[in-house]
Structure 1
Amino acid sequence: MKLVRYGERGAEKPGLLHVDGTIRDLSRVVRDIDGKALSDEGLSKLFWTDAGKLPIIPEGVRLGAPVAGVGKLIAIGLNYADHAEEAGLTVPPEPVVFMKATSAICGPDDDVEAPRGSEKLDWEVELAFVIGTRAKYVTLEDAMDHVAGYMICNDVSERSFQIERSGQWVKGKSHDTFAPLGPWLVTKDEIKDPQALDLWLNVNGVRRQTGTTATMVYGVAFLVHYLSQFMTLEPGDIITTGTPPGVGMGSRPPKFLHAGDVIELGITGLGSQRQVVVQA
């Protein structure tokens, strides 16, 4: 099942992508695609809904981020060995964990803002997953029981803010529009192995990133287990899992984004995104 949220920013409604390619309205079934809807009980209700009888939404409607009311947007750094190598860093002995502000969340095709004073705006195609049931001190064996589904995240980063301005990475990761999500949330029954997905990203039509989740250092199950030892993961929380090589900072010479650039990215089975960079 592919769940979406559609409509103007701040007024999105719940929907799903039907097998015929149309978007169907879920407003009479659930209030929104949030933690409650993504619980086992909520998803069961959606699975038993006759999608063919739901109203069809006109083509061309804007898609928002597929999950509403996100409590935590947690990110994992240096989670691909080849990306760590291009960054000149060693693979960490434990996951590198940081937060992105939830105000950075936007739709998959919304414009990406270059912040004022930005010098090193960068791209990162990533697999993100969403928590469906509360996770606290979860064992590795039970970890996947807490995952509701998967989607694409572009972990947009301002490298000079992130690395050269002291303090934590969050400063370079949290500007408005720095977390395009979607186009849809794919429930985990449709993704048999999250560690066997291809990722790609183009800038202005030129391939910049090509990778596979098979080379992730810490996989989805381990991350649920690991993070739940430090914080309770609540339904609707999102974890984005790191990026393969090919980011602008790692290019020789480095390449960064500017107003007018077009970013396109995708992951097997999860759709694709397209953003235009604009000046904030």
Structure 2
Amino acid sequence: MKLASYKDGSRDGQLVVVSRDLTMAHYATGIASKLQQVLDDWGFLAPQLQDLYDTLNNGKARHAFPFDPAQCMAPLPRAYQWADGSAYINHVELVRKARESEVPGSFYKDPLMYQGGSDDFIGPCDDVICPSEEYGIDFEAEVAVITGDVPMQSTPEQALEGIRLVMLANDVSLRNLIPNELAKGFGFFQSKPATAFSPVAVTLDELGDTWDQGRVNLTMQSTWNGRKVGMCDAGPEMTFHFGQLIAHICKTRNVRAGSIIGSGTVSNKGVEAKGKTDWPKGYSCIAEKRAIETIQDGKPSTEFMKFGDTIRIEMKGKDGELVFGAIDQKIVAAAALK
């Protein structure tokens, strides 16, 4: 099934069930008003939502209405935890190579992860608001999952059983703030503003055989200012699958229902041809493009995002239709709000 949270003036929105083709929706109020309620009592409430979903898809839901992604908050508008990994080691390799730094061997065995702000997510069509272009505004196209309860010391296989929903994320980064923050030795903070998520989150059965033991074998599409810049395969080159990422968090603590775990920037290796490396599938963040340019030309030439820029992030199924809807945002100056 496909679930979304509609804006209603509250912090958590109203839970709606969305048809498979993303054309129609129905409030789930008679079952649950918020997604967190469902995550807290999944075994009881999810089957009821599934019945409503089936009725909606069969065209028999009496109070259905046209689905509008612009009315969506993040599927889970605020979460108990947002932990973002860097599961595509190729991304790390490129960024490190560009600054002539080796990737530590531990990175191939132990996932990189940071804990981001989960109190202020933004919707798929909401503006990305930033105080200054000088901060180095960048998009990051990612896959994310929402969990139920996962006990401490769970294995990767056990952790996979805790995944309830899958969605897309735009984990916005302010690249020019990152170096000084990391130099303090305490991780990201100001360099990671509010994250956006796709209009809907979907259960694993919606992905069919494209869900492959913690990986989504579909193409992540990124379109910047109307130009397609990324068509990256999300599955094969994901070094750490979601079960491994969740198990990493579970090493010393429980993960509770309503936690969101991100994959990090979807990234694919370059292709060697005639002594030259090309990246035909493009990129899922500007930092990676700049790293490629530095490796090839000695310096980056692509600038970060400017006010007025747009970014669209989406993923299509085998039938060519959108699975999660699309993240479709504009970069806006904070001063414009005053």
> TM-score, normalised to structure 1's length?
0.90
Point out the more displaced range, 166-175 or 80-89: 166-175
For 1:66, the aligned partner's letter is: P
Structure 2: any 5+ residue segments left out of the alignment? 98-102, 268-282, 294-299, 317-322
What is aligned with 1:225?
Answer: 247
Contact 2:148 2:257 in 1 (8 A): yes
5 Å-filtered alignment, 1:149-228, equals: 149-165=165-181, 166-167=183-184, 168-175=186-193, 178-192=194-208, 193=211, 194-213=215-234, 214-228=236-250
Residues in 2 aligned to 1:95 and 1:19: alpha-carbon distance in whole angstroms:
33
Change (3 A) 1:68 1:112: closer
Tell me the SS of whatever aligns to 1:134: coil
Residues in 2 aligned to 1:103 and 1:258: alpha-carbon distance in whole angstroms:
26
What is aligned with 2:2?
Answer: 2
Residues in 2 aligned to 1:125 and 1:97: alpha-carbon distance in whole angstroms:
16
Compute the displacement of 1:54 (Å): 5.2
5 Å-filtered alignment, 1:1-280, equals: 1-8=1-8, 10=10, 12-19=13-20, 21-34=23-36, 36-37=38-39, 39-49=42-52, 50-51=55-56, 52-53=60-61, 55-58=63-66, 60=68, 62-77=71-86, 79-88=87-96, 90=103, 92-93=107-108, 94-116=110-132, 118-165=134-181, 166-167=183-184, 168-175=186-193, 178-192=194-208, 193=211, 194-213=215-234, 214-245=236-267, 246=283, 247-250=285-288, 251=290, 252=293, 253=300, 254-268=302-316, 269-280=323-334
Structure possessing the higher relative contact order (Cα contacts under 8 Å, 6 or more residues apart): 1
Which structure has more strand as a fraction of its residues? Answer: 1
Tell me the SS of whatever aligns to 2:125: coil
Contact 1:151 1:186 in 2 (8 A): yes
Change (3 A) 1:137 1:9: farther
Cα deviation 1:219-277 (Å, max 9, x = unaligned) = 11211222211331111110011112422123232421111000011123323210000
Tell me the SS of whatever aligns to 1:191: helix
Tell me the SS of whatever aligns to 2:71: coil
Point out the more displaced range, 66-75 or 19-28: 19-28
For 1:82, the aligned partner's letter is: N
For 1:163, the aligned partner's letter is: P
For 2:71, the aligned partner's letter is: R
Compute the displacement of 1:97 (Å): 1.1
Change (3 A) 1:272 1:238: same
Cα deviation 1:176-228 (Å, max 9, x = unaligned) = xx311121010112123133121121110122223122211101121122221
For 2:122, the aligned partner's letter is: C
> TM-score, normalised to structure 2's length?
0.75
Compute the displacement of 1:130 (Å): 0.5
Contact 1:128 1:239 in 2 (8 A): yes
- Percent identity between matched residues is 21
Cα deviation 1:120-163 (Å, max 9, x = unaligned) = 11111000000023332212222221000100000100012222
Which stretches of structure 1, 4 residues or longer, exceed 6 Å deviation after superposition? none
Structure 1: any 5+ residue segments left out of the alignment? none
For 2:96, the aligned partner's letter is: G
Residues in 1 aligned to 2:251 and 2:37: alpha-carbon distance in whole angstroms:
20
Contact 1:126 1:152 in 2 (8 A): yes
Compute the displacement of 1:62 (Å): 0.8
